Amino acid sequence: MKKLSLILVPLTLLFAILLYNGTTYYTDQQYHPTEYFTPVTLDEVAVINRLAKAIKIPTISYDDTARFTPAPFTDFANLLISEYPHIAAVADKQIINGYSLIYKFSGSDNNLKPILFMGHMDVVSVDEITLDKWTHPPFSGVVENDIIYGRGAIDDKSTVMALMEAMELHLSSGQSLKRSIYFAFGHDEEIGGSSGAQVIAKHFEDTDVEFEFVLDEGGVILKPGMMPNITDEVAIIGIAEKGFMNIRMVVDHSGGHSSTPPEHTAAGIIAQAIVKLENAPFPADMSFTNLTFDKIGSYADFAARTVMANQWLTAPIIEHVLLANAKTAASIRTTTAVTMLSGSSKSNVLPTQATAVVNFRTMPNHTIEQVRSYVAEVIADPRVKLEVFMASNASPVSTTDGFGYKLLEHTIREFDKEVLVAPYMVQGGTDSKYFYGVSNAIYRFMRVKVDNDLLAGMHGIDERIPVQDYLKGVQLFHELINKAAISVQ
Task: Assign 327 a pLDDT band (cuts: 50, 70, 90).
Answer: confident
Contact status, residue 363 vs residue 427, Cβ threshold 8 Å: no
Nearest Cα to Cα of residue 64 among 230, 238, 234, 188: 188
As a whole number of angstroms, the distance between CA 87 and CA 475 comes to: 17
Average pLDDT over residues 249-267: 93
Single out the catalytic residue among 165, 188, 189, 479.
Answer: 189
- Report pLDDT for 3: 66
- Report pLDDT for 485: 82
Instruction: Specify burial of residue 258 (Cβ count, 10 A radius: 0-12, 13-18, 19+).
Output: middle
Question: Is residue 189 annotated as a catalytic residue, yes or no?
Answer: yes
Does residue 10 or residue 403 have the better pLDDT? 403
As a whole number of angstroms, the distance between CA 292 and CA 88 comes to: 40
Task: Assign 486 a pLDDT band (cuts: 50, 70, 90).
Answer: confident
Kindly give, in sequence order, each residue whose CB lies less than 8 Å from that of residue 202, ignoring residues fewer than 6 positions away: none
Kindly give, in sequence order, each residue whose CB lies less than 8 Å from that of residue 154, ignoring residues fewer than 6 positions away: 446, 448, 454, 457, 458, 463, 464, 465
Question: Hey, what domains does the chain have and what are their CATH numbers?
Answer: 44-239+396-486 (3.40.630.10), 242-392 (3.30.70.360)
441, pLDDT greater than 80: yes
| Cα end-to-end span (Å), the chain | 66
Contact status, residue 119 vs residue 54, Cβ threshold 8 Å: no
- Report pLDDT for 9: 62
14, pLDDT greater than 90: no
Nearest Cα to Cα of residue 429 among 235, 233, 197, 203: 197
Average pLDDT over residues 211-225: 96
Kindly give, in sequence order, each residue whose CB lies less than 8 Å from that of residue 487, ignoring residues fewer than 6 positions away: 179, 403, 407
Tens of pLDDT along 72-81?
999 999 999 9
Task: Assign 489 a pLDDT band (cuts: 50, 70, 90).
Answer: very low
Nearest Cα to Cα of residue 458 among 218, 104, 274, 201: 218
Task: Assign 114 a pLDDT band (cuts: 50, 70, 90).
Answer: very high
Longest CA–CA span in the chain (Å) reads: 88
Contact status, residue 462 vs residue 279, Cβ threshold 8 Å: no
Average pLDDT over residues 446-468: 94
Contact status, residue 389 vs residue 357, Cβ threshold 8 Å: no
Mean pLDDT of the chain: 94
Instruction: Specify burial of residue 314 (Cβ count, 10 A radius: 0-12, 13-18, 19+).
Output: middle
- Report pLDDT for 12: 78
- β-strands 233-241, 419-426: how paired? parallel
Percentage of the chain with pLDDT > 70? Answer: 97
Single out the catalytic residue among 122, 190, 431, 469.
Answer: 122
Kindly give, in sequence order, each residue whose CB lies less than 8 Å from that of residue 9, ignoring residues fewer than 6 positions away: none
Evaluate if pTM is beyond 0.85: yes
Tens of pLDDT along 197-207?
999 999 999 99
Average pLDDT over residues 467-474: 98
407, pLDDT greater than 80: yes
Question: Is residue 241 annotated as a catalytic residue, yes or no?
Answer: no
Average pLDDT over residues 90-106: 98
Contact status, residue 426 vs residue 241, Cβ threshold 8 Å: yes
Instruction: Specify burial of residue 50 (Cβ count, 10 A radius: 0-12, 13-18, 19+).
Output: buried
- Report pLDDT for 8: 64
HSE-CB for 273 with a 13 A CA cutoff:
32
As a whole number of angstroms, the distance between CA 156 and CA 158 comes to: 5
Nearest Cα to Cα of residue 125 among 97, 162, 159, 155: 155
